[in-house]
Amino acid sequence: MIYLDHSATTKPNADVMKAFVQANERYYANPASLHEMGVDVNHLLNRSREQVAGLIHTEPEHVVFTSGGSESNNFLIKGIARANTHRGKHILVSSIEHASVLETARALEKEGFHVDYIHVDKQGVIDLDDLKEKLMKDTVIVSIMHVNNEMGAIQPIEEIAKIVRERSRAFYHVDAVQSFGKLPIHFNDELGPDALSISGHKINGLKGTGIAALRKRTTIEPIIHGGGQEMGLRSGTVAVPQDVAIAKAARLAEQHRTVNVQRYTKWRNDIHAFLERMDDVYVLSSNNGAPHIVSCSIRGIKGEVIVNAMQRQGVIVSTSSACHSKDTQISHVVQAVGVPDEFARGVIRMSFGEGVTDGDIEQFKEAFSNVVKQVRGEIKTHEMA
């Protein structure tokens, strides 16, 4: 099978797995323990934290290890909002955020916060004028993802940061789950975000690993209380092998980013050109979007039908988001960007990662051509066997 679903999850890198296993075998003591073994484990944990901090240009004490992107989003948005109600109780998010951001905002509404949603254009890029209009004196946090997981739209995070800082005292959070390791993303005193979320399993790390990071010391309320681990922000015995693994994955992702982006960009542009020549195919992604994501739809055909047909051709793709793959409703992203009705239920996503080759891309194009012909009824199903 050719795997083109790397935005859903990736295969762990062999070196990441090796680091994880070695840490489990040798550094299994509790890093909070005062004995020698505990001290050694704590040193390893601190080195991992320092490595991540160096990659994103912050201090180690501003890096909190989590279980993944969803926890990081919940922790940062809820923690900052709840701890800073003296600044206000207004929250701004884009209309195409990941469910872990949208549902977090809705949960905070039940606590008395007010949430507004920023519009996007047909390319999935936020309307900066709408952002300016909806920013208020009491806006406490603005959360806008760097790269949309369904169609690959890239948000102008530096412009957003400038607007937020010039017009409010709000904190600016960026979900960087789909961008870290593919696009430059780090803290910058002038034009960077205040908080970042990163997921390990999107960068050839392990599931159940993540990073919540801050630009500077920020008042934030924990959502897990207990023994005061992770600088008092996330209690519970620290999973050091997992933290070692995500630090290793993050270093490798940044190390290989330039070369990978060149390959992904070539494939994305090639597939876009291929798709745009086809009748009855609607392309959502663009050459201005993320290098690793292609999104399209076939007129009148449901996404799961295309996914199953492609699988029979030996190619793994997904519906627009793995988080909604079992949901028969139209994705909120598809609705927000105004995909025509006849294409709205058929959106699929192809996403590149480690292990994909030029030959795989050619096989994808051949398989997709066959599927389009099949669903048009131009060839019979048994001819595809």
| β-bridge mates for residue 101, sequence order | none
For 289-314, give the DSSP string.
S-TTEEEEEETT--HHHHHHHHHHTT
The identity of residue 224, as a single letter, is I
CB 291 within 8 A of CB 265: yes
The identity of residue 129, as a single letter, is D
3-class state of residue 167 by DSSP: helix
> Within 13 Å and on the Cβ side, how many CA atoms surround 126?
31
Burial 233-245 (b: 16+ CB within 10 A, else e): bbeeebbbbbbbb
- Tell how strand 347-351 and strand 318-319 pair up: antiparallel
The catalytic position among 99, 323, 330, 375 is 323
Q: Distance (Å, rounded) from C-alpha 247 to C-alpha 65?
A: 10
Q: What is the Cα gyration radius of the chain?
A: 22
CB 171 within 8 A of CB 194: yes
Q: 277: Cβ–Cβ under 8 A, 6 or more apart, which residues?
A: none
Q: Distance (Å, rounded) from C-alpha 307 to C-alpha 341?
A: 19
CB 120 within 8 A of CB 93: no
323 is catalytic: yes
Q: Which long-range contacts (CB under 8 A, 24 or more apart) does 322-329 make?
A: 322/5, 322/7, 322/8, 322/9, 323/98, 323/99, 323/149, 324/99
Q: Which residues are catalytic?
A: 323
